[in-house]
Chain A
Amino acid sequence: MKFKFIIFLILLNSVNLYPQANGEIDVVIENISTTKAIFLYPSIGFNSSKIKIQGGMLIGNEYVNSNTILGGQIDFMFFPNERDIKLFNFYFIANINYFNNPQRFNTSLVKNSIYQITLGYGFEYFLSKSIFLKSNIGLGGMVEKRKFNFDTNDPINKYGFAGSVSFGLGYRL
């Protein structure tokens, strides 16, 4: 319940930002599922011709232990056909995200810092002049850097596969 309330507040705050520029700035709220966690991702994007750079916070839950985690993400999007509010807009996307997830058990502490890079593609669809839906999917790699407060043979760096699926709603200022 608490989590749903936070979602609602963030969405409400995002759509309260009234337009100041000529459609060059977007605010977006997305739901992202990655290999490690599920996030809410409120972001701001800056458009320039065929390129958009977007960034924001990640607020979510780790899958396995349901720990609440915070992080950040930056996306680089390339629209080969430019953006058009009347059509589906296809884009390529590269994103980098970071979040950390400390795991405590009695006196043992493992600090996990996770970096994911994914490459993929997605679509935007304008419902009106200003509001659009977006969705993308990406695959890539992940590195998990760990710090332990006890002696262990477990590796400090763990490498893995990263995937990302997201779905969101944006508002063009």
Chain B
Amino acid sequence: MKNILIIFILLLSASCEDFSLLERDQENVFFYENIIENKNSTGNLRVATFNINLGFCSTCNPFNGDIGGDFEHLDKIINLINSLNFDIISLQEVAHNYDATVIKNQIKYIAARTNMNYAYGMNRAIQTGSNLHLSGIVGNAVLSKYEIVSVENPVIRYIDYYNQNHCLNVRIKLNPNKEIIILNSHLQARSTNEEKEIQIRNIINENTNSNIPIILSGDFNINYTPQNYFLSLLNEQFHNSLDIISDSERLEVLKNGTYINGSTLDYLFLSKNNFKIYSGYIVPLEFRNISDHFAYIIDISLLEK
């Protein structure tokens, strides 16, 4: 009897590990890989931000149970990236291990065919109301021609495992003397004003002490207006690239918008006194049927200090 008791104490002690039923216990998924040899940058960069809608078409719903994210569609994204020769591109709504996508590790697939280093960070776990059996992660990614040194993925808004937002923080070595940080975030859609402010302030708080030049990119789900309160929270530390490109270029971007309904939701911010901007524009017309967002691109150079 005593032996049986001892056995059961041991069994119970051991059995309290990972005995989950239906719920995954991934807390914060982020990773990176340098797959190309180190390149050196002169400091001139073409940088873009692009929400890829989980690799689904521009009018498709990635959450209704239909299958998407297949080779053919991801190849369109790859073709865009290769055609425009980006140095760094931030992607949002990148699926990872999502049941409804054909390609499970989308960023790795894209990186291998664009010959770029990659970093990925989850935004939230997927749980759809109409298809409770679908699971996976949707997140943010950065592709870079230059070496990725480190990656963090802090939370900027948290309600629960399926309703949270992160800001991917990627440190990149442009050459032996210069590093920059790319922040990539996808703010919550249809959030309240208080939540918008919470997310932006948390992004600021994560990066106030950085001496390294920062490019903040992402889908902010905040429609551009001049002197927008939420965007202006970033003014102390950043320039909104839309505000510092030429008037004609800004009008062109705002006329098209970065989202399929004409809104401008996607941004590239530059930390002050670190960059010079030459131009900002939306991706050419032939690439605007890939996702429900359009890539927004800037050509910049890093200022010598």
Residues of A at the B interface (CB closer than 8 Å) are: 3-4, 7-8, 11, 15, 29, 31, 33-36, 38, 40, 63-66, 103, 105-108, 110, 112, 127-128, 131, 146, 148, 150-154, 158, 161, 163-165, 167, 169
A110 cross-chain contacts in B, Cβ below 8 A: 158-160
A107 cross-chain contacts in B, Cβ below 8 A: 198
| Cβ–Cβ contact B13 & A4, under 8 A | yes
| Cβ–Cβ contact B16 & A38, under 8 A | yes
| Cβ–Cβ contact A103 & B1, under 8 A | no
| Cβ–Cβ contact A169 & B12, under 8 A | yes
A151 cross-chain contacts in B, Cβ below 8 A: 192-195
Stretch among B17-25, B207-215, B276-284 lining the A interface:
B17-25
| Cβ–Cβ contact B159 & A65, under 8 A | no
Interface residue B27 (Cβ < 8 Å from any Cβ of A): yes
Known A-B contacts A7-B12, A152-B194; the reply to A161 vs B132 at CB < 8 A is: yes
A169 cross-chain contacts in B, Cβ below 8 A: 8, 12
Question: What residue in chain B is nearest A144 (Cβ atoms)?
Answer: B160
Looking at the assembled complex, report how far the CB atom of A76 sits from the nearest CB atom of chain B, in whole angstroms. Answer: 21
Looking at the assembled complex, report how far the CB atom of A126 sits from the nearest CB atom of chain B, in whole angstroms. Answer: 12
In angstroms, Cα B23 to Cα A35, docked, is 6
* Residues 3-39 (chain B) with a chain A CB within 8 angstroms: 4-5, 8-9, 12-13, 15-16, 19-27
| Cβ–Cβ contact A150 & B194, under 8 A | yes
| Cβ–Cβ contact A63 & B23, under 8 A | yes
| Cβ–Cβ contact B160 & A103, under 8 A | yes
Interface residue B289 (Cβ < 8 Å from any Cβ of A): no
Interface residue B150 (Cβ < 8 Å from any Cβ of A): no
B202 cross-chain contacts in A, Cβ below 8 A: 106
A-B contact pairs, 20 of them (CB 8 A): A3-B16, A31-B19, A35-B23, A63-B24, A64-B26, A64-B161, A103-B159, A103-B160, A110-B158, A128-B1, A131-B1, A131-B5, A150-B198, A151-B192, A151-B194, A153-B191, A161-B22, A161-B132, A163-B21, A169-B12
| Cβ–Cβ contact B159 & A154, under 8 A | yes
B132 cross-chain contacts in A, Cβ below 8 A: 161
Interface residue B293 (Cβ < 8 Å from any Cβ of A): no
A161 cross-chain contacts in B, Cβ below 8 A: 22, 132
In angstroms, Cα B20 to Cα A152, docked, is 30
Known A-B contacts A36-B23, A65-B27, A150-B198; the reply to A31 vs B191 at CB < 8 A is: no
B27 cross-chain contacts in A, Cβ below 8 A: 64-66
Interface residue B155 (Cβ < 8 Å from any Cβ of A): yes
| Cβ–Cβ contact A11 & B160, under 8 A | no
In angstroms, Cα B20 to Cα A164, docked, is 10
A-B CB proximity, top 3 nearest:
A151-B194, A105-B158, A33-B19
Query: Total interface residues on B, using CB and 8 Å?
Result: 35
Question: What residue in chain B is nearest A105 (Cβ atoms)?
Answer: B158
| Cβ–Cβ contact B16 & A31, under 8 A | yes
A35 interface neighbour in B12, B22, B163, B198, Cβ under 8 Å = B22
B12 cross-chain contacts in A, Cβ below 8 A: 7, 11, 29, 31, 169
A33 interface neighbour in B20, B24, B198, B205, Cβ under 8 Å = B20
In angstroms, Cα B20 to Cα A7, docked, is 18
In angstroms, Cα B192 to Cα A112, docked, is 20
A34 cross-chain contacts in B, Cβ below 8 A: 21
In angstroms, Cα B195 to Cα A3, docked, is 36
In angstroms, Cα B22 to Cα A150, docked, is 30
In angstroms, Cα B12 to Cα A7, docked, is 8
A108 cross-chain contacts in B, Cβ below 8 A: 157-158, 198
B5 cross-chain contacts in A, Cβ below 8 A: 15, 131
Interface residue B190 (Cβ < 8 Å from any Cβ of A): yes
| Cβ–Cβ contact B159 & A64, under 8 A | no
| Cβ–Cβ contact A103 & B21, under 8 A | no
| Cβ–Cβ contact B19 & A152, under 8 A | no
